[in-house]
Amino acid sequence: MLICVFTGFSSGLPLYLLLNLVPAWLYTQGVSLKAIGAMTLIQLPYTWKFLWSPLADRYPLPGGLGRRRGWMLAAQAGLLASIGGLGGLSPRADLESIVALLLLIALLSATQDIALDAFRREILPDAELGLGNSVHVNAYRIAGLVPGSLALILADRLPWSQVFWITALFMLPGMAMTLAVREPAIAAGPARTLRDSVVLPFREFIGRAGLRRALLILAFIFLYKLGDSLCTALATPFYLGMGYTKTEIGLVAKNAGLWPAVIGGLAGGLWMVRLGINRALWLFGAVQLLSILGFAALAWAGPQSAIGAPQLLALAAVIGAEALGVGLGTAAFVAFIARSTHPLYTATQLALFTSLAAVPRAFVNSTAGLLVDRLGWLGFFLLCAALALPGMLLLPAVAPWKNRSTEERRSC
């Protein structure tokens, strides 16, 4: 479980940098909402990582760390350097270079996720998938407080170049974990051919699930987080547009977002041990849907000319509900994805599933700025709530309420 804390923190930091800190940086430097929304396409590597995941299954990198740890350390070192270098560029003069560097960060982050996801799946027995992935997601969200809270507070006091280097240094705990842990026994086994690394994971998944159920599972993975992902695509610019300062957003996010995420993540993991992953998907998905309506309520109130205690409480309620609802939903969702893999093909199958889950974040989110211009913030958030429904409607087919796996029943 302690290892899962480090995998979650290392995985979440670069993604939340792209989701929270970079949009705030660009917005304060005069870049338009349309351009910021379109720049979510830089997250494309998250959706295509299954294309090079067989390489991580087949080839260890030089250095003697093994297939999982070698790829983990290389990606983490690259992220430290590229995140730190981002603040040396100017959004007004170097926008093309910034886009290129952001693409590199997304590529390195996606590669790290390939190795981290496979590593975590291989060290967790099936009965501990719910709790282990809940701990991972909890740490994942806590990592978001670095670019989404601490860095925003520092940005009111320090140059952006220093802010990005301070943020980059938070990759060091993950690098230390990579060097300290052992390579999983499955990952250390005999390497397959590259062809087998590409073909067998897909053949095994379809053969085990059946074609119809396999397609339903893939559709569910795509749809379950669709509304939630779009809802938070422009969260920081939305808060800024409502009249809150960067410091207020950072302080409220630290206090209102941390404890609901911690409590919700840990409680979700413990509940999953008792409820099972299937029922958790139903219950946590409903909480996730309701949390989207908090954004709609804040948008309905409109921009605030003066920020006082009531306005800060409203912001805290929205951030807290989002942290709780999305944290619970993500914990169950990640556990479901891990359960759907075979231990022999973890890197490629997990990369395929998580790539599909990232499609809304990379493609659909790129339309967020345009949708806000067309619908306004209130209409936009109501649309997000509607988009959260199709994934819930697939639950009877892919995760029936009454059905529980053998491993889950044994863990109770």
pLDDT at position 191 over 60: no
pLDDT of residue 90: 81
Find out whether 298 and 155 touch, Cβ atoms under 8 Å. Answer: no
pLDDT of residue 346: 75
Here the tokens at position 98 are 């910034």
Higher-pLDDT residue of 163, 405: 163
pLDDT of residue 412: 39
Averaging pLDDT over each range in 92-96, 183-187, 281-285, which range is the top one? 281-285
Residues 6 or more apart whose CB falls under 8 angstroms from that of 328 comprise: 264, 265, 267, 268, 280, 283, 284, 287, 288
Higher-pLDDT residue of 179, 192: 179
Name the percent of the chain lying above pLDDT 90: 15
pLDDT at position 196 over 90: no
Kindly state the average pLDDT of the residues 102-121.
Answer: 90
Distance, in Å, from the CA atom of 137 to the CA atom of 324, rounded to the nearest integer, reads 12
Assign 373 to helix, strand or coil.
helix
Q: Is it true that domain 2-182+192-411 has CATH number 1.20.1250.20?
A: yes
Assign 123 to helix, strand or coil.
helix
Helices H / strands E in the chain, number of each: 24, 0
Tens-place pLDDT, residues 275-328:
778 888 888 888 888 888 888 888 898 777 666 677 788 888 888 887 777 767
Tens-place pLDDT, residues 212-253:
888 999 899 888 888 888 887 778 788 888 888 878 877 776
Confidence category of residue 170, pLDDT binned at 50, 70, 90: very high
Here the tokens at position 193 are 């051919």
Counting every residue written for the chain, the total comes to 412
pLDDT at position 398 over 70: yes
Kindly state the average pLDDT of the residues 67-88.
Answer: 91
Tens-place pLDDT, residues 355-382:
777 776 666 767 788 888 888 889 999 9
User: In whole angstroms, how far apart are CA 105 and each of 57, 72, 275, 376?
Assistant: 21, 14, 37, 31
Kindly state the average pLDDT of the residues 20-33.
Answer: 81
Mean pLDDT for all residues in the chain: 81
Backbone angles phi, psi at 308, to 5 degrees: -125, -165
Residues 6 or more apart whose CB falls under 8 angstroms from that of 276 comprise: 130, 404, 405, 408, 409
Distance, in Å, from the CA atom of 269 to the CA atom of 273, rounded to the nearest integer, reads 7
Here the tokens at position 204 are 């095994």
Kindly state the average pLDDT of the residues 167-193.
Answer: 79
Here the tokens at position 196 are 């087998």
Q: Which is nearest to 319 in space by CA: 252, 223, 226?
A: 252
Task: Say which residue the tokens 């250390």 belong to.
Answer: 188
Kindly state the average pLDDT of the residues 117-140.
Answer: 79
In SS3 terms, 376-400 reads as: HHHHHHHHHHHHCHHHHHCHHHHCC
pLDDT of residue 164: 92
Residues 6 or more apart whose CB falls under 8 angstroms from that of 371 comprise: 380, 383
Distance, in Å, from the CA atom of 361 to the CA atom of 384, rounded to the nearest integer, reads 13
pLDDT of residue 406: 41
Residue-range domain boundaries for the chain: 2-182+192-411
Find out whether 72 and 109 touch, Cβ atoms under 8 Å. Answer: no
pLDDT of residue 258: 65
pLDDT of residue 307: 67
Distance, in Å, from the CA atom of 399 to the CA atom of 412, rounded to the nearest integer, reads 18
Confidence category of residue 80, pLDDT binned at 50, 70, 90: very high
pLDDT at position 190 over 50: no
pLDDT of residue 186: 62
pLDDT at position 92 over 50: yes
pLDDT of residue 409: 45
Confidence category of residue 77, pLDDT binned at 50, 70, 90: very high
DSSP secondary-structure letter at 94? -
Residues 6 or more apart whose CB falls under 8 angstroms from that of 290 comprise: 321, 325
Distance, in Å, from the CA atom of 243 to the CA atom of 310, rounded to the nearest integer, reads 13
Distance, in Å, from the CA atom of 73 to the CA atom of 283, rounded to the nearest integer, reads 37
Tens-place pLDDT, residues 6-26:
888 999 899 889 888 888 888
Kindly state the average pLDDT of the residues 58-87.
Answer: 88
Find out whether 273 and 130 touch, Cβ atoms under 8 Å. Answer: yes
Exposure string for 180-205, b = 16+ CB within 10 A, e = fewer: ebebbebbeeeebeeeebbebbeebb
pLDDT of residue 318: 82
Higher-pLDDT residue of 345, 353: 353
Find out whether 20 and 235 touch, Cβ atoms under 8 Å. Answer: yes
Find out whether 229 and 364 touch, Cβ atoms under 8 Å. Answer: yes
pLDDT at position 83 over 80: yes
